[in-house]
Amino acid sequence: MSVSRAAVLNMTSMAGSITNTGFVFTEDLAVPSYKISKAALNMAMRVAAANAKEKGILVVMMCPGWVKTDMGGRDRGVLEPEESITAMINTLSTLDDTHHGVFMDREGIPYPF
């Protein structure tokens, strides 16, 4: 992968989707601080994306998926770290201006804010 421009990649979570709050990640309502912080990150980066666009800096928010880590739960996660990382790296090489300011999964599929 060769990089031809500056980019900012933010690790976010699908749990930060305001649209899906209480519908998709209902168990996360018991730990609202995580959801709130990810929603705030997404908003902050959407604003930063608007300001960075004219400078040619790509800004995206990407969810790595539910990864088997200490935080994600080694027994509850569905992805091995290597699977998540490989998918994100592969996706990064395909991003262009149409992805600027987008909240997406590790495969580049847009997700609602």
Which pLDDT belongs to residue 50? 93
Give the predicted TM-score (pTM) of the model: 0.85
pLDDT tens digits for range 50-80:
999 999 999 999 999 999 988 767 787 889 9
Give the per-residue pLDDT at 1.
46
Enumerate the domain spans of the chain: 7-104
- The answer for 101, left when phi > 0, alpha when psi is -120 to 50, beta otherwise, is left
Q: Which two tokens stand for residue 69?
A: 């880590």
Task: Mention the CATH class of domain 7-104.
Answer: alpha beta
Residue ranges of E strands in the chain:
7-11, 58-63, 103-105
Sheet order of strands, 7-11 included:
7-11, 58-63, 103-105
DSSP 82-100: HHHHHHHHHHHTT--GGGT
Is pLDDT larger for residue 99 or for residue 69?
99
CA 65 to the chain's CA centroid = 9
Between CA 44 and CA 39 the distance in angstroms is 9
Q: How many residues does the chain have?
A: 113
